[in-house]
Amino acid sequence: MPRSPSTITILNVTGALFLLNAGVSAGFAAEQTVRLRAVDDRKAVIATVEPVRQLVARARIEGTITSLTVKEGSWVNANEHIAVVADQKLLLQMQALQSRIQAQQANRDQAQINFDRVQKLRAANVSSQAQVDQTKTSLDVAQRTLQALLSDRQVIEEQVSQGAVLAPGTGRVLKVPVSEGTVVMPGETIVTIAINNYILRLQLPERHAQFMKTGDTILIGARGLQVQQQETLRRGHVVLVYPAIEQGRVIADVEVESLGDYFVGERTRVYIATGTREALVVPEDAVYRRFGVSYVKLKDGTEVVVQVGLPVEGGLEILAGLHEGDVVITP
């Protein structure tokens, strides 16, 4: 049966759209030949979350803790009052010294009255110059004795003010080994604070020391120690490799973003480079997942199931499913 002109027009338009879509898809697709290339040979090790620095707030005077405003896990800011250490002996010394100051002020006032009286008598030629000099000396002695007592009071006031324990920095409280009513000595630890900047600390066998250097990229697994089927790996960088090997282990610090919600001392899995080896690498965009299985598409349109390894420079490592020389399609 001959087709009508309208039917032919619809078929032509449909065919044109199909060719246009195929052309657009081909324009956005790229081909890449799979080749063996040298990649970092990464091993899984355990790293520990540690603060960059731990600050210790210590008692500066001997006494009893009368106030403690923080506990484990509390957030503190620098110079915040976290405890008060009071020494009862300082209060008693302050009271005794205050009484001596009041008595000396009375002596000073009396010496000033005597000096003024002798000066008037000297002006009337009733007293001698020796009496003037004597009363002037008594007034100077009384004045300087009062100044010495006031200085002693300032010393005690400063000692009392040092009973206030201040946070040495901003961070989270890790340990509070004391409580209210505890008797402490000068230099004793009141609070241990971890500043709000965490790093991952690695302790690797000595044989890995030759491969570890500042600036190396480290891959960090998901939180926890269990290996997940498909996990998102984060990247960190080695910021410090300690020059000393302790008990057969080399220690390194790794800087990673967003470690603030980790516990201090929490362990996590990381992957470090311990040399190089050859591996098949494809662009990350070439791998797609469907129903929990990873696929790549070859140039002839075949979908191949692949086993994906760790991310490497320039893509993903393919452990199984592809051979050298295969051409894969990337969107």
Tokens linked to 23: 């052309």
Report the pLDDT value the prediction gives residue 289, as an integer from 0 to 100.
85
Two structure tokens written together for 80: 């915040």
Cβ of 28: how many Cβ atoms within 10 Å? 9
Length of the chain: 331
| Sheet strand arrangement including 75-76 | 54-58, 189-195, 171-175, 75-76
Tell whether the torsion through CA atoms of 94, 95, 96 and 102 is positive or negative: positive
3 state SS of 257: coil
pLDDT beneath 70: ranges in the chain: 1-29, 224-231, 260
What are the extents of the domains in the chain?
Answer: 29-52+197-330, 54-192
Buried b (16+ CB within 10 A) or exposed e, 270-283: bbbbbeeeebbbbe
> What pLDDT, on a 0 to 100 scale, did the predictor assign at position 275?
73
3-state class (DSSP) for residue 289: strand
Query: Nearest 5°: phi and psi at 156?
Result: -65, -40
Amino acid making up residue 294: S
The residue to which tokens 């230099």 are assigned: 187
Predicted model pTM = 0.57
Burial 84-102 (b: 16+ CB within 10 A, else e): bbebeebeebeeebeeebe
Q: What is the 3-state secondary structure (H, E, C) of 101-133?
A: HHHHHHHHHHHHHHHHHHHHHHHCCCCCHHHHH
Identify the CATH homologous superfamily for domain 29-52+197-330. Efflux pump adaptor protein, beta barrel domain (2.40.30.170)
Q: Give the right CATH number for 54-192 from 2.115.10.20, 2.40.50.100, 2.40.30.10, 3.40.50.300.
A: 2.40.50.100
Look at residue 214 in the predicted model and tell me its pLDDT. Answer: 87
